[in-house]
Amino acid sequence: MTKKALTRREFLEKTSTGLASASVAPLSFAISWNPGTLALKGGTPVRTTPSPGWPQTKDLDEKNILRALRNHRWCTYDGEFIPKYEKAWAEKLGTRGCVMTPCGTHALHAALEVLDIGPGDEVLVAP
């Protein structure tokens, strides 16, 4: 079963509706039954179980990390992991392709390049 990808307009409609309804809902639903008191001072805690340890790794993670280190292709495109990851992520998102970047700044630079945005164009981004 493949999920239908949302258009930009559909995404904005769905998220805007959710945010609007959340803003008019009574505040007590969003926080504990004792909204005026922090859990440290006797209020109701948000979590009743401890947070899981981090990072969470499995045997397959360790096997793949060692394999990447041993073949000296742990951060290059001609290795096996990046193309596999990009393909799997694109399938999960329901898109034709995906490009992995090392950080958000590189992702923004790539987006600007793909959209042919250059000097004189106005682009609004978070700081």
pLDDT per residue as tens digits for the range 94-123: 999 998 888 899 998 998 899 999 899 998
Q: Report the first-to-last Cα separation within the chain, whole angstroms.
A: 38
- The total of other beta-carbon atoms located within 10 Å of residue 117's CB is 12
Return the amino acid letter for 127. P
Instruction: Name the phi and psi angles at 72, rounded to 5.
Output: 55, 35
Mean pLDDT of 35-62: 84
Q: Print the domain residue range for 90.
A: 8-34+58-114
Mind listing the pLDDT tens digit for each residue in 21-34?
555 555 444 444 55
Q: Does 14 have pLDDT greater than 60?
A: yes
d(CA 81, CA 76): 9
Q: Is residue 108 part of a domain?
A: yes
d(CA 98, CA 79): 16
Q: Is residue 70 part of a domain?
A: yes
Q: Is residue 16 part of a domain?
A: yes
Q: Is residue 53 part of a domain?
A: no
Q: Is residue 1 part of a domain?
A: no
Q: Is residue 105 part of a domain?
A: yes
How many structural domains is the chain composed of?
Answer: 1
pLDDT of residue 1: 56
Query: Which of 9-18, 40-49, 111-120 holds the top average pLDDT?
Result: 111-120
What's the token pair of residue 109?
Answer: 């630079």
Q: Is residue 20 part of a domain?
A: yes
Asked if residue 81 lies in contact with residue 89, where contact means CB atoms within 8 angstroms, the answer is no
Mind listing the pLDDT tens digit for each residue in 52-90?
888 888 999 899 888 888 887 766 667 778 888 889 999
d(CA 44, CA 35): 8
Q: Is residue 51 part of a domain?
A: no
